[in-house]
Amino acid sequence: MVHKIHLYSDITDLRCKQLINSQNWIIAKMYNYNALLTFVVGMSYCVCDFNIFVGDEVTITFNGPRLYFNIENPQLHDWKRFVLCFKSYPNTVREHCPRGYALFYSYVLGQARICYKMTRLGTIVDASASKMRGSVFFGNDGSVTIKVLQLPPSGYVRLINAQKVVPTTTTTTIPVRSTTTIPKTVKTTSYTVYYVIGGLVLLFILIVGSVIAWLCWSRKSRLSSPPH
Protein backbone atom coordinates (compact mmCIF):
# COMPACT_ATOMS: atom_id res chain seq x y z
CA MET A 1 0.00 0.00 0.00
CA VAL A 2 2.86 2.31 0.86
CA HIS A 3 4.53 1.44 -2.43
CA LYS A 4 1.39 2.47 -4.33
CA ILE A 5 1.20 5.77 -2.48
CA HIS A 6 4.85 6.57 -3.38
CA LEU A 7 4.21 5.60 -7.02
CA TYR A 8 1.14 7.85 -7.16
CA SER A 9 3.13 10.69 -5.60
CA ASP A 10 5.92 10.28 -8.17
CA ILE A 11 3.41 10.37 -11.04
CA THR A 12 1.80 13.49 -9.60
CA ASP A 13 5.17 15.22 -9.26
CA LEU A 14 6.04 14.30 -12.85
CA ARG A 15 2.76 15.73 -14.15
CA CYS A 16 3.30 18.92 -12.15
CA LYS A 17 6.78 19.32 -13.62
CA GLN A 18 5.39 18.77 -17.11
CA LEU A 19 2.67 21.34 -16.45
CA ILE A 20 5.19 23.86 -15.15
CA ASN A 21 7.46 23.29 -18.17
CA SER A 22 4.48 23.81 -20.49
CA GLN A 23 3.58 27.04 -18.72
CA ASN A 24 7.19 28.25 -18.93
CA TRP A 25 7.26 27.42 -22.66
CA ILE A 26 4.02 29.37 -23.23
CA ILE A 27 5.34 32.35 -21.24
CA ALA A 28 8.61 32.30 -23.21
CA LYS A 29 6.73 32.24 -26.52
CA MET A 30 4.51 35.11 -25.41
CA TYR A 31 7.57 37.09 -24.38
CA ASN A 32 9.22 36.51 -27.75
CA TYR A 33 6.00 37.51 -29.54
CA ASN A 34 5.72 40.71 -27.49
CA ALA A 35 9.36 41.54 -28.17
CA LEU A 36 8.83 41.01 -31.91
CA LEU A 37 5.66 43.11 -31.86
CA THR A 38 7.45 45.89 -30.00
CA PHE A 39 10.30 45.80 -32.54
CA VAL A 40 7.92 45.97 -35.51
CA VAL A 41 5.93 48.83 -34.00
CA GLY A 42 9.12 50.62 -33.13
CA MET A 43 10.38 50.22 -36.69
CA SER A 44 7.15 51.63 -38.10
CA TYR A 45 7.57 54.77 -36.00
CA CYS A 46 11.32 55.05 -36.56
CA VAL A 47 12.63 58.53 -37.32
CA CYS A 48 16.04 59.56 -38.49
CA ASP A 49 18.41 61.69 -36.44
CA PHE A 50 20.83 63.26 -38.92
CA ASN A 51 23.02 66.30 -39.38
CA ILE A 52 23.21 68.97 -42.08
CA PHE A 53 26.05 71.37 -42.76
CA VAL A 54 26.73 74.71 -44.46
CA GLY A 55 25.52 74.62 -48.07
CA ASP A 56 23.13 71.72 -47.52
CA GLU A 57 19.51 72.03 -48.60
CA VAL A 58 17.14 69.24 -47.60
CA THR A 59 13.41 68.61 -47.67
CA ILE A 60 12.20 66.82 -44.57
CA THR A 61 9.09 65.63 -42.77
CA PHE A 62 8.80 65.18 -39.02
CA ASN A 63 6.62 63.31 -36.55
CA GLY A 64 4.47 65.13 -34.04
CA PRO A 65 3.42 68.75 -33.87
CA ARG A 66 6.95 70.17 -33.61
CA LEU A 67 10.31 69.86 -35.35
CA TYR A 68 13.20 69.57 -32.89
CA PHE A 69 16.60 70.74 -34.07
CA ASN A 70 19.86 71.77 -32.43
CA ILE A 71 22.62 74.16 -33.40
CA GLU A 72 25.77 72.25 -32.50
CA ASN A 73 28.88 74.30 -31.58
CA PRO A 74 31.52 71.68 -30.68
CA GLN A 75 34.40 74.19 -30.54
CA LEU A 76 32.47 76.53 -28.21
CA HIS A 77 32.80 79.60 -30.43
CA ASP A 78 31.52 82.85 -29.01
CA TRP A 79 29.48 85.52 -30.85
CA LYS A 80 29.30 83.54 -34.07
CA ARG A 81 26.17 83.85 -36.19
CA PHE A 82 24.20 81.02 -37.72
CA VAL A 83 21.71 81.50 -40.56
CA LEU A 84 19.02 78.99 -41.62
CA CYS A 85 16.67 79.60 -44.54
CA PHE A 86 13.28 77.89 -44.69
CA LYS A 87 11.34 77.52 -47.94
CA SER A 88 8.66 80.20 -48.13
CA TYR A 89 6.54 81.80 -50.84
CA PRO A 90 8.01 83.21 -54.09
CA ASN A 91 7.49 86.85 -53.10
CA THR A 92 9.29 86.47 -49.74
CA VAL A 93 12.45 88.58 -49.52
CA ARG A 94 14.65 88.42 -46.41
CA GLU A 95 18.22 89.51 -45.77
CA HIS A 96 20.89 86.80 -45.98
CA CYS A 97 18.50 84.26 -47.60
CA PRO A 98 17.69 83.74 -51.30
CA ARG A 99 14.40 85.05 -52.60
CA GLY A 100 11.50 82.81 -51.64
CA TYR A 101 12.97 81.79 -48.26
CA ALA A 102 12.11 82.77 -44.67
CA LEU A 103 15.00 83.69 -42.36
CA PHE A 104 15.98 82.28 -38.99
CA TYR A 105 19.23 83.42 -37.43
CA SER A 106 20.87 84.08 -34.08
CA TYR A 107 24.28 83.81 -32.37
CA VAL A 108 26.09 81.19 -30.34
CA LEU A 109 27.55 82.59 -27.14
CA GLY A 110 29.98 79.86 -26.18
CA GLN A 111 27.33 77.15 -25.73
CA ALA A 112 28.02 73.67 -27.05
CA ARG A 113 24.41 73.30 -28.15
CA ILE A 114 21.29 75.44 -28.61
CA CYS A 115 17.98 73.57 -28.83
CA TYR A 116 15.03 74.85 -30.84
CA LYS A 117 11.48 73.72 -31.57
CA MET A 118 9.42 74.78 -34.57
CA THR A 119 5.66 74.25 -34.86
CA ARG A 120 3.80 73.31 -38.02
CA LEU A 121 2.87 76.98 -38.34
CA GLY A 122 6.53 77.86 -38.79
CA THR A 123 6.87 79.46 -35.34
CA ILE A 124 9.96 79.00 -33.18
CA VAL A 125 8.90 78.00 -29.66
CA ASP A 126 11.50 78.54 -26.95
CA ALA A 127 12.47 81.00 -24.27
CA SER A 128 14.91 82.96 -26.42
CA ALA A 129 14.24 86.06 -28.49
CA SER A 130 14.91 84.18 -31.75
CA LYS A 131 12.05 84.18 -34.19
CA MET A 132 11.26 83.20 -37.75
CA ARG A 133 11.30 86.11 -40.17
CA GLY A 134 8.81 85.22 -42.86
CA SER A 135 6.23 82.48 -43.39
CA VAL A 136 7.40 78.89 -43.71
CA PHE A 137 5.84 76.90 -46.55
CA PHE A 138 4.73 73.33 -45.77
CA GLY A 139 3.93 70.84 -48.52
CA ASN A 140 0.81 68.70 -48.71
CA ASP A 141 2.73 65.91 -46.97
CA GLY A 142 3.82 68.26 -44.18
CA SER A 143 7.33 68.58 -45.60
CA VAL A 144 9.53 71.64 -45.21
CA THR A 145 12.76 72.62 -46.98
CA ILE A 146 15.76 73.88 -44.98
CA LYS A 147 18.88 75.52 -46.42
CA VAL A 148 21.92 76.03 -44.18
CA LEU A 149 23.61 79.31 -45.09
CA GLN A 150 25.96 80.02 -42.20
CA LEU A 151 27.21 78.24 -39.06
CA PRO A 152 30.06 78.65 -36.58
CA PRO A 153 33.30 76.93 -37.67
CA SER A 154 32.92 73.13 -37.35
CA GLY A 155 29.27 73.64 -36.43
CA TYR A 156 26.29 71.76 -37.82
CA VAL A 157 22.53 71.45 -37.48
CA ARG A 158 21.18 68.30 -35.86
CA LEU A 159 17.63 67.36 -36.85
CA ILE A 160 16.20 65.24 -34.06
CA ASN A 161 12.86 63.87 -35.28
CA ALA A 162 13.12 64.43 -39.03
CA GLN A 163 13.15 62.21 -42.08
CA LYS A 164 14.55 63.13 -45.47
CA VAL A 165 12.07 63.27 -48.33
CA VAL A 166 13.41 61.36 -51.31
CA PRO A 167 12.08 62.95 -54.51
CA THR A 168 10.54 60.57 -57.03
CA THR A 169 10.91 61.24 -60.73
CA THR A 170 8.79 59.89 -63.56
CA THR A 171 10.22 59.29 -66.99
CA THR A 172 7.99 60.23 -69.92
CA THR A 173 8.84 58.78 -73.32
CA ILE A 174 7.98 61.09 -76.20
CA PRO A 175 7.61 59.33 -79.56
CA VAL A 176 9.95 60.69 -82.22
CA ARG A 177 8.49 61.32 -85.64
CA SER A 178 10.61 60.32 -88.57
CA THR A 179 10.89 63.19 -91.05
CA THR A 180 12.60 63.19 -94.44
CA THR A 181 14.47 66.34 -95.32
CA ILE A 182 15.23 66.99 -98.96
CA PRO A 183 18.57 68.75 -99.30
CA LYS A 184 18.54 72.11 -101.03
CA THR A 185 21.21 70.92 -103.45
CA VAL A 186 18.82 68.30 -104.85
CA LYS A 187 16.12 70.92 -105.40
CA THR A 188 18.61 73.25 -107.08
CA THR A 189 19.77 70.46 -109.38
CA SER A 190 16.17 69.69 -110.33
CA TYR A 191 15.52 73.33 -111.20
CA THR A 192 18.69 73.42 -113.32
CA VAL A 193 17.58 70.36 -115.29
CA TYR A 194 14.19 71.99 -115.91
CA TYR A 195 15.87 75.15 -117.17
CA VAL A 196 18.15 73.22 -119.55
CA ILE A 197 15.30 71.15 -120.96
CA GLY A 198 13.15 74.26 -121.42
CA GLY A 199 15.98 76.04 -123.20
CA LEU A 200 16.57 73.12 -125.53
CA VAL A 201 12.87 72.90 -126.37
CA LEU A 202 12.74 76.63 -127.11
CA LEU A 203 15.85 76.39 -129.28
CA PHE A 204 14.35 73.46 -131.18
CA ILE A 205 11.17 75.44 -131.78
CA LEU A 206 13.17 78.41 -133.07
CA ILE A 207 15.18 76.21 -135.43
CA VAL A 208 12.10 74.45 -136.80
CA GLY A 209 10.33 77.77 -137.20
CA SER A 210 13.29 79.27 -139.02
CA VAL A 211 13.48 76.32 -141.41
CA ILE A 212 9.76 76.50 -142.14
CA ALA A 213 9.96 80.26 -142.70
CA TRP A 214 12.95 79.84 -145.06
CA LEU A 215 11.18 77.14 -147.05
CA CYS A 216 8.06 79.30 -147.38
CA TRP A 217 10.11 82.29 -148.45
CA SER A 218 12.04 80.22 -151.04
CA ARG A 219 8.86 78.82 -152.52
CA LYS A 220 7.27 82.25 -152.73
CA SER A 221 10.35 83.65 -154.47
CA ARG A 222 10.22 80.96 -157.13
CA LEU A 223 6.56 81.54 -157.86
CA SER A 224 6.98 85.29 -158.10
CA SER A 225 10.02 85.26 -160.45
CA PRO A 226 9.21 85.75 -164.28
CA PRO A 227 9.76 82.79 -166.59
CA HIS A 228 12.62 83.01 -169.10
Question: Are 7 and 99 in the same domain?
Answer: no
How much is the pLDDT for 7? 43
Q: Are 144 and 59 in contact (CB under 8 A)?
A: yes
How much is the pLDDT for 138? 96
Question: Are 90 and 18 in the same domain?
Answer: no
Which residue range forms the structural domain that includes residue 91?
48-164
How much is the pLDDT for 204? 83
Q: Is 5 inside any structural domain? A: yes
Q: Is 154 inside any structural domain? A: yes
Question: Are 82 and 11 in the same domain?
Answer: no
The model carries a pTM of 0.55
Question: Are 138 and 103 in the same domain?
Answer: yes
Question: Are 124 and 160 in the same domain?
Answer: yes
Q: List average pLDDT for each run of 10 residues in the chain, which is 228 residues long.
A: 45 52 54 46 54 96 95 96 96 94 95 94 82 94 96 96 80 52 55 79 84 78 62
Total number of domains in the chain: 2
Q: Are 135 and 89 in contact (CB under 8 A)?
A: yes
How much is the pLDDT for 110? 94
Question: Are 158 and 80 in the same domain?
Answer: yes
**Residue 60: how many other CB atoms lie within 10 Å:** 20
Question: Are 93 and 123 in the same domain?
Answer: yes
